[in-house]
């Protein structure tokens, strides 16, 4: 009795679970009747004929992120790098995703890997780091073109890591160190060169300023002398005019002569004080010359007498 009851319960459960199906909001279900496609079940509650209808496939309709495992690629300059990434896709047609390919996820991953190897092989190692965006776009375009019959839309692809081998990393580090030292040497030399240029420019500007100052000083001195000469000339002209005016007046010529005599006497006295010349009146000077001549003749005569006596 208990066995029969258990069989009835199990049979009732199987019939009840096959009689209807609840499709969630995030998926679509492919319904088959007697092994043939019947329809696509949208989210909601659906009745089915037990042992005739069945839910053959259930497809995730949300955007899916699939990890692309790391693989070794050869760059254009023959360097091995390990590259992995992420592919973002979405099922657009659950019928094609169910009957167009057995496993669209595995197919998308394998296609992403082959396309990635092809794209890396077109670039050098340095370009693989700088051209990531372009590589991602090319991979998305190729995968999306191949995945269209599967009812799958590839939204984007992201390269996650590009890892050269340890030997290449060491070589790159040495290269970067040498490049840094080179840039440091260039910077130092440029600094020294600029310092010398600044010093020479400063010296040049200093010389220019000094020459300009000297030129300005000479100009100022010349202007000062010219102004002085002009003032002296004006004063002399004024003095001459006044003297002329004074001479033209009655008794002016006598005053001028008197003034000239006074100046003559003053200047003559200064000459006598500062020289060894004896100044005598004209008659006294003639007498002095006479006596000096007589003395010279006497000396000459005495010299001749002495010579004659010695000869005798």
- Burial bucket for residue 17 (CB in 10 Å: 0-12, 13-18, 19+): exposed
Q: pLDDT value at position 26? A: 87
**Measured in Å, how far apart are the chain's first and last C-alpha atoms?**
208
Distance (Å, rounded) from C-alpha 190 to C-alpha 197? 10
30 — phi, psi (to 5°)? -90, 120
Residue 193: Cβ within 10 Å count: 10
Right CATH for 64-164 from 3.60.21.10, 2.40.50.140, 3.90.180.10, 3.30.479.30: 3.30.479.30
Distance (Å, rounded) from C-alpha 3 to C-alpha 11? 12
| pLDDT tens over the chain, length 312 residues | 677 777 777 777 766 667 778 888 888 898 888 888 888 888 888 888 877 888 888 888 899 999 989 888 888 888 888 888 999 999 999 898 889 888 889 998 999 899 888 888 888 887 888 888 888 888 898 888 888 888 899 888 988 888 887 777 777 778 788 888 888 888 888 888 888 888 888 888 888 888 888 888 888 888 888 888 888 778 877 777 776 676 676 766 666 667 666 776 776 666 666 666 555 544 444 544 544 554 454 454 444 444 444 444
Distance (Å, rounded) from C-alpha 31 to C-alpha 25? 16
Dihedral, CA of residue 195, residue 200, residue 204 and residue 206, to nearest 10: 50
**Residue 263 near residue 271 (C-beta atoms within 8 A):** no
Q: What is the pTM of this model?
A: 0.51
Of all residues in the chain, the percent with pLDDT exceeding 70 is 77
Question: Which residue do the tokens 């009745």 mark?
Answer: 47
How many CA atoms are closer than 13 Å to the CA of 35, on its beta-carbon side? 0
Distance (Å, rounded) from C-alpha 246 to C-alpha 90? 127
Q: pLDDT value at position 206? A: 84
- Domain spans of the chain, in order of start: 2-60, 64-164, 167-243
**Residue 111 near residue 147 (C-beta atoms within 8 A):** yes
**Residue 31 near residue 54 (C-beta atoms within 8 A):** yes
**Residue 156 near residue 88 (C-beta atoms within 8 A):** yes
Listed in sequence order, the DSSP H helices in the chain are: 2-19, 94-99, 104-121, 125-130, 132-147, 166-248, 252-274, 282-311
Q: pLDDT value at position 284? A: 47
């Amino acid at each position: 009795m208990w066995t029969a009851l258990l069989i009835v319960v199990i049979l009732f459960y199987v019939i009840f679970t096959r009689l209807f199906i609840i499709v969630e909001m995030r998926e679509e279900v492919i319904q088959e009747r007697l092994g043939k496609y019947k329809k696509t079940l949208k989210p909601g509650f659906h009745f089915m004929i037990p042992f005739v209808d069945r839910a053959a496939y259930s497809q995730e309709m949300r955007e899916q992120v699939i990890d692309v495992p790391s693989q070794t690629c050869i760059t254009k300059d023959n360097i091995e790098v390990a590259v992995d990434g992420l592919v973002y896709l979405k099922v657009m047609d659950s019928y094609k995703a169910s009957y167009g390919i057995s496993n669209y996820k595995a197919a998308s991953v394998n296609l992403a890997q082959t396309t990635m190897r092809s794209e890396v092989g077109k670039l050098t190692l340095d370009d693989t780091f700088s051209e990531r965006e372009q590589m991602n776009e090319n991979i998305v375009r190729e995968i999306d073109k191949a995945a269209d019959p599967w009812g799958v839309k590839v939204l984007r692809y992201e390269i996650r890591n590009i890892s050269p081998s340890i030997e290449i990393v060491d070589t790159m580090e040495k290269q970067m160190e040498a490049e840094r030292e080179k840039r440091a040497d260039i910077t130092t030399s440029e600094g020294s060169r600029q310092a010398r240029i600044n010093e020479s420019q400063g010296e040049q500007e200093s010389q220019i300023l000094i020459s300009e100052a000297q030129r300005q000083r000479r100009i100022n001195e010349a202007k000062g002398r010219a102004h002085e000469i002009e003032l002296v000339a004006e004063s002399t002209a004024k003095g001459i005019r006044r003297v002329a005016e004074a001479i033209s007046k009655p008794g002016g010529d006598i005053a001028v002569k008197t003034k000239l005599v006074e100046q003559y006497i003053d200047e003559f006295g200064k000459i006598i004080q500062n020289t060894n010349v004896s100044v005598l009146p004209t008659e006294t000077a003639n007498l002095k010359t006479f006596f000096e001549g007589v003395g010279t003749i006497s000396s000459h005569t005495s010299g001749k007498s002495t010579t004659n006596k010695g000869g005798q």
